[in-house]
Structure 1
């Protein structure tokens, strides 16, 4: 793990830009340098009508200013070129900078490469003193191997997989401190692709926040919330709890909020399931009373042995309830639980029915007339229930998928 002193010991980007001006002289070409164009007399043109007309002038889109924009997005760097830059770094040919590390040898480099690749290093080089033609800069707080991999990346954008995996946290800090966004993106990408474990997740999360990597920080937060029990028992969590209790409190609040959202989501799913069951029951009721169900109705027909049972799934849920309601002697809404449920379904249908005069569902008109006598409180509850059922119906689309065993 990178200690808290690691980040503070590394220089931060001051935001100052490093730039060099290049004067490119463009010589004007004299018209005399072009080949002469043979002149054609007017008389010959007039006399010979078979001479073709000259081609039209180039369109405005084919100007020289359009080529840099088209070529800027196209790049193909061969392997040989990267090897050349790696060789230049390894051999240190013509190096004018010595990079001092804490636990290793001096790393030779070139000021022009460092200045172009990192504006922060460019500022340091401008402020450093020259001794015998060599500039000296120090990169403390990280292992020598990590500094070597960092400087190599500035030359050729190359890296070894093992070195990247071993020093990815150090390289993330270096890329942020010395303003190398391409390396920061690379480190974050590798961490997101499976290099984070329960043991180093808290370390990665803290570095992601300090190094301004919001996407990586968000991914870490989600992983902590998802497996909070395991993460909270690691050594990294214990250190964070002691060093940064405010951050621990923030993560705990995120876990509580995630649990609340999960419970709310489950609650809404259960409510939607109930409204979906009611919607299916309304369809089954219409099917039974209007179209005629081959299993339980209509009441003036009996299912013959050769007939196939009804294939409408929702009828299976209403079959027992309808049979009980037709034979129950109580039939009082408050006296029989099953009959009470059937009364509620009939009243719900009546409130949703738009054709009470020709509707074949029993008691449809009766409940329409009963609505006028109900209290405002009951009327509000029924309207809310109807709106919920209609909303679920609309969410299913024109071809709802029917489910069986709803009631």
Structure 2
């Protein structure tokens, strides 16, 4: 499929609307992506034509819903090159997947064990591990970051030891756009016998990770940043690791046999999928993956890289503007500040011009503390954005600077 930006933008109904009397310029894709009509139609189709609970009913609607839901699991397996469908666990999103793994490791870790995270993490990649260490007596260690917003890999190597049981890093920083060297991180962790969990929430809309090639133990992501619906995501786990971890929640669907004396648990993936899932969300997630693959991730990466380079060049022409996150390996996220101006004020003025950006600490307060700033303005670009929208952003930032200084 040829990359046709006009045709792609026509797939997204929300991009046709206005905000405050101006055409919408949506540059908050790191928070959530917009949804193509195909995904919206898949949601409507489910509730209109075959809404039923799954894995339980013998009637036709239940079987149809079950088939579509499990077809979506297969699409996800193929997209991420996962060996077995039962290694795909549906979750409510990335945070759910992280907490599922953290809960399981509470039965594995003890005094003297160590968990390593990075300084570039989202709060959902910090707090569960702090809670885990408080519960188990394990120690949390942090890979430091550099002024460029990259990880200090020499320091990481020094942190690893025979006591390291789990390493957790994000694939791409939500606050800075830095692409972390996860291949090296995974390889070095495995050398000391540690498991690795990678947060792919910010990565999977930009690149197509091959989870078997990465040899990662766990990988989590969310549908809503991949043009899918909110409230659904996946945890990938190697079969041997998922079998080691206890269920995260108890209830229907995750059991084999129940009596008041003893309960036995279902096989994977159902062991971790208690209760009625987000059936419609899972099906629509599969539709979103189909849509992204139809466009092609090579084309997506190419277009977004061109936008990133163009936006970086044009924004740096503004006197007093500083970009945070200047590593050579990064994706289409630009976090910046204007000298002497609070990022919230910049974002407010941009909104009046129909330009949606994110301001604040982006659930990554340790990064902001490192740079000694209250937060940043974050413009995050997607494959449906254009250079004309970048021009509108640059003009808006210039206007905000004139009004606020």
Scaled to the shorter chain, the TM-score interval is under 0.3
| Bigger helix fraction | 1
Q: Kindly name which structure, 1 or 2, has the bigger radius of gyration based on alpha carbons.
A: 1
| Bigger strand fraction | 2
Higher relative contact order (CA 8 A, sep 6+): 2
Q: Which TM-score applies when normalising by structure 1?
A: 0.17
